[in-house]
Structure formats: C-alpha cells, structure tokens
C-alpha cells in the first residue's frame, strides 16, 4: 500500500484579475499559506504556464518547477481539460466550444482540432520535462447529443462515434507513451467518456492503450446515481489522478437527474464544497489506499453556495483529515511465528 499525497488544489477556479489570484507566484504562496502541498496547473491560462515553452525548453520547465518548489509546493499534474475537449467537438457545439480555442482557430473546426492535438502533445512533453506522470483531461464528444435515444439512434451510430474518437486519440496516447505520461480522462457528463460503459467502449477502440487512464472524481457519479465505490473496485488499476469534489442529489417531485434546465442552485443534483455534500470520502480514501493509489488528492472547488475562498480554506484540512498513513505491518504481527515448513505441515496434520 501507499500513502496518498496531499493536499493539492486545482488552481483553475481561483484565478482572477486581483492579487493574489492574478499571478502564478502569488497564487502559489496563497495556496501554501492555506496548507496545500501541491498545485494542479490549468495549462490554458498563460498566467500559470507557457505550455509550448514548457514542452520545448527544459530550462523553462525547471525554472517553473523550481519557483513552485521554493514556495514549498509541488506540481501535481498539468490539466488539459479544455484542450482535450476540443479534440472532438460535434458541430452543434462549435460556437460554444470556440470560446476555448485561440482566435486563429475560431470558426474553423479543422484548425481547432489540430490546435487541440498539438496542445496535448505539448502537455505530454511538458509533463515529462517537469517529471510528472499523469495529465488530467477530457475526451471530447461526438455522441453526447444522442445520450438519451430519442429519436431512436440509427444502428451503428455509437460504434462509429467511438471508432472516430479512438482514431483521434490513439496517436496522442502513443506520444504520451513515448513521454512516459498517462492521460487521466475525467469521466464527466458532456464527454463521450461519462461512465464505465463508455470508458470501456473507448478502451476497445484504442486497443486497451496503457496510457488511457482515469481521473477519479466521485461528484459526477453522484449526479448520475452511479456506484462510485464499486467503480474504484473495477477501475483502480487505471486511476492515476483524483479530484476531491463533493456533490449531492436531492430528487423532488419535479426533477431528477436531468435537472429541468435549472441553474446549479436549483438542480436536484449539484456540486458542493468538500464535506458539504453526500460523498463518502472516508470510504473513498480507504479504497484508494487499499488498492495502492499513491498519487495526489487534489481539491477542486465547484460549489453553488459556498465562496471559493472559504472552500479553499476548508479544503486542505479536509483532505488532511482523510489521508491514511498506509501501514507497513499487520495488526496481529505480535502473535506471529517464524516461517517453518516442518511446523506448518505439523499444524496441517500432514507429513
């Protein structure tokens, strides 16, 4: 067994125009002062990182890592959620997802996809330069608009969609393999990889690629009413990153999992700050430790009630209180006896 690292914090939701949230050094110092030990970096924000430079210049990567280390923090992972999303976009979402793309690729789906693929390659090399082993991301989606089959899905549609998704991701995964880094897909509504079944369909299309791994975030499974503890039992060997994010599901006579187009505050299923929802983190940390997960527990703040500042302040001690120092000895070792084949045979009644 291994002891989970932490607490870490995902910086994306905290960046802003005012100090200490507008500069990498100052936001890292803020995180350190709150008790965090690691930061997950959103690679699309130039205030945090120049991703291309981190891929092409080991010197720059070392300087960025050194600055963060001097503050007393480590880089947990480089997040590529927005770029991964753009690897596969259905035309119905072109205008909305163009917001994630640079001006040079807007209104040009082919150029946008090419940019996203290159960004993922930069992230693989940058992660290698920084000594990181996992890169959280999204899969993108070609099929999400058909997740509820009405009108009836044409025969072969799902298979064709996953075939194309696998075709787009296989070269990316191969390059990540060259760099010694896992892609940790966040299984998330809105992506074609949104539960275990869809993840397995994707694995089949990428030939069970060893780098097609997982970011575990139980909050999304609460909203889907999926057994998030059994999920760990099934996929623990593929879990390479972990978001500590809470959620709650309070069904009513008016709405359930689909939420009735309501804003987050009024949905039956909504994300909460760690400790304020229904997620059984005690059991999650136990299972992950049992299965040997030794990477980071990273707090992701997404709450429709609590302020980000309060969520961040409470997040570090919350994670600390759940990290289990993995034992190296059995509780009944005191009563053990030395290995002795003859004695064992005697106990078994055999000669």
Residues 39 and 61: their CA atoms lie apart, in Å, by 15
Residues 84 and 298: their CA atoms lie apart, in Å, by 19
Query: CA nearest 36: which of 348, 298, 331?
Result: 298
212-216 β-sheet, strand order: 74-79, 38-42, 5-10, 296-299, 239-244, 212-216, 182-186, 134-137
CB 276 within 8 A of CB 224: no
Q: What is the pLDDT of residue 144?
A: 97
Cα torsion 277, 34, 74, 41: sign: positive
Q: How many domains does the chain have?
A: 1
User: Is 131 a residue whose pLDDT tops 90?
Assistant: yes
CB 296 within 8 A of CB 39: no
E strands present in 74-125: 74-79
Residues 207 and 214: their CA atoms lie apart, in Å, by 16
Q: Indicate the pLDDT class of residue 347, thresholds 50, 70 and 90.
A: confident
Q: How far is CA 296 from CA 50, 283, 299, in A?
A: 23, 17, 10
Q: How crowded is residue 252: how many other Cβ atoms within 10 Å of its Cβ?
A: 9
What are all long-range contacts of 29-34, with beta carbons under 8 Å and residues at least 24 apart?
29/71, 31/73, 31/312, 32/71, 32/72, 32/73, 34/9, 34/312, 34/313, 34/315, 34/316
User: Is 334 a residue whose pLDDT tops 70?
Assistant: no
Radius of gyration of the chain, Cα coordinates, nearest whole angstrom: 22
Strand pairing class (239-244; 74-79): unpaired
The predicted-structure confidence for 161-189, as pLDDT tens digits, reads as follows 999 999 999 999 999 999 999 999 999 99
Q: What is the pLDDT of residue 333?
A: 72
CB 120 within 8 A of CB 52: no
Range of the domain at 283: 5-348
For residue 99, give the DSSP letter.
G
Q: What is the mean pLDDT of residues 39-59?
A: 98
Q: Indicate the pLDDT class of residue 338, thresholds 50, 70 and 90.
A: confident
Q: Left if phi > 0, otherwise alpha if psi is -120 to 50, otherwise beta: which for 292?
A: left
**Phi, psi (deg, nearest 5) at residue 190:** 100, -20
CATH number at residue 80: 3.20.20.150
E strands present in 189-328: 212-216, 239-244, 246-249, 269-272, 296-299
The predicted-structure confidence for 74-109, as pLDDT tens digits, reads as follows 999 999 999 999 999 999 999 999 999 999 999 999
- Whole-number average pLDDT of the chain: 96
Q: What is the pLDDT of residue 36?
A: 98
The predicted-structure confidence for 180-215, as pLDDT tens digits, reads as follows 999 999 999 999 999 999 999 999 999 999 999 999
Q: What is the mean pLDDT of residues 249-253?
A: 97
Residue 190 neighbours by CB under 8 Å, 6+ apart:
141, 144
């Amino acid at each position: 067994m291994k002891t989970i690292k932490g607490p870490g914090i995902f910086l994306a939701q905290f960046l802003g125009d005012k100090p200490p949230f507008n500069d990498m050094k100052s936001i890292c110092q803020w995180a350190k002062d709150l008790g965090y030990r690691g930061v997950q970096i959103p690679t699309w924000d130039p205030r945090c990182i120049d991703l291309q430079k981190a891929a092409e210049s080991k010197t720059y990567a070392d300087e960025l890592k050194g600055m963060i280390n001097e503050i007393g923090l480590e880089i947990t992972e480089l997040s590529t959620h927005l770029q991964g999303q753009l690897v596969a976009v259905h035309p119905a979402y072109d205008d909305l997802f163009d917001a994630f793309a640079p001006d040079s690729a807007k209104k040009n789906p082919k150029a946008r996809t090419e940019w996203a693929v290159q960004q993922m390659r930069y992230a693989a090399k940058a992660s290698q330069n920084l000594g990181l082993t996992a890169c959280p991301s999204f899969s993108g989606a070609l099929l999400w608009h058909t997740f509820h089959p009405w009108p009836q899905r044409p025969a072969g549609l799902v298979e064709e969609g996953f075939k194309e998704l696998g075709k787009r991701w296989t070269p990316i995964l191969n390059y990540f393999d060259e760099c010694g880094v896992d892609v940790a897909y966040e299984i998330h509504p809105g992506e074609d990889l949104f539960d275990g079944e869809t993840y397995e369909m994707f694995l089949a299309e990428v030939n069970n690629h060893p780098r097609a791994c997982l970011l575990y975030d139980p909050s999304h499974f609460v909203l889907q009413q999926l057994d998030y503890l059994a999920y760990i039992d099934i996929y623990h060997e593929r879990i390479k990153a972990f978001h500590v994010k809470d959620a709650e599901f309070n069904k009513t006579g008016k709405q359930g999992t689909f939420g009735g187009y309501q804003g987050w505050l009024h949905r039956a299923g909504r994300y909460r700050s760690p400790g304020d929802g229904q997620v059984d983190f005690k059991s999650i940390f136990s299972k992950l430790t049992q299965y040997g997960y030794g990477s980071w527990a990273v707090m992701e703040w997404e709450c429709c009630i609590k302020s980000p500042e309060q969520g961040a302040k409470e997040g570090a001690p919350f994670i600390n209180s759940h990290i289990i120092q993995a034992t190296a000895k059995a509780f009944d070792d005191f009563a053990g006896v030395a290995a002795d084949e003859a004695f064992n045979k005697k106990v078994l009644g055999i000669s």
